[in-house]
């Protein structure tokens, strides 16, 4: 996997190339009209250690820009916003038993769910490629960086 990295203080943020990102922190990788969805490295770092995850059930239709579940961290509960619309067809069972995979490998073993896509060509218009997301993330880090690492 190819990554761009941005270093801020003691934090290293990675953005994986070849996938699309929603401004609220979820990424989507598409293969044969099936989306794999997870959270970005920036999202998991910003929110802290993941303690648990609750996703909508298999068979539920998800809509771009609307919730698909939530993540519990040591500090807060964070709503997950779907980067694309479709029907949930699989959950990553590993993250139920080992939610820390979301922190340690957000672009690999820490993926969240798979969905059969409805209209990704339209959804893609509202997403960022890795280059745009890297610039977006970098601007947010530079703006909010003073809050990183607090209470973690």
Quick check: is 128 in a domain? yes
Which DSSP helix (H) or strand (E) runs through 77?
Answer: strand 77-81
Quick check: is 152 in a domain? no
Ordered per-residue pLDDT tens for the chain, 152 residues: 798 989 888 888 999 999 999 999 999 999 999 999 999 999 999 899 999 999 999 999 999 999 999 999 988 999 999 999 999 999 999 999 999 999 999 999 999 999 999 999 999 999 999 999 999 999 998 887 766 655 44
Quick check: is 135 in a domain? yes
Q: How many domains does the chain contain in total?
A: 1
How many other C-beta atoms lie within 10 A of the C-beta of residue 141? 19
Quick check: is 31 in a domain? yes
Which alpha helices (H) appear in 13-129, and where do they start and end?
41-47, 93-97, 101-104, 120-124
Q: What is the pTM of this model?
A: 0.93
For 54, the domain range is: 3-144
């Amino acid at each position: 996997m190819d990554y761009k990295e941005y270093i801020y203080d003691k934090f290293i943020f990675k953005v994986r190339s070849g996938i699309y990102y929603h401004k609220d922190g979820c990424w989507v990788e598409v293969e044969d009209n099936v989306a794999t969805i997870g959270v970005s490295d920036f999202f998991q770092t910003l929110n802290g250690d993941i303690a648990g995850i609750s996703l909508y059930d298999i068979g539920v239709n998800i809509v771009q820009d609307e919730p698909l579940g939530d993540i519990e961290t040591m500090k807060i509960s964070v709503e997950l916003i779907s980067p694309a619309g479709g029907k949930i067809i699989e959950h990553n069972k590993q993250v139920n038993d080992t939610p820390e995979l979301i922190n340690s490998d957000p672009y690999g073993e820490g993926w969240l769910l798979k969905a059969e896509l409805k209209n990704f060509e339209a959804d893609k218009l509202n997403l960022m490629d890795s280059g745009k997301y890297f610039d977006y993330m970098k601007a947010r880090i530079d703006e909010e960086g003073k809050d990183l690492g607090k209470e973690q």
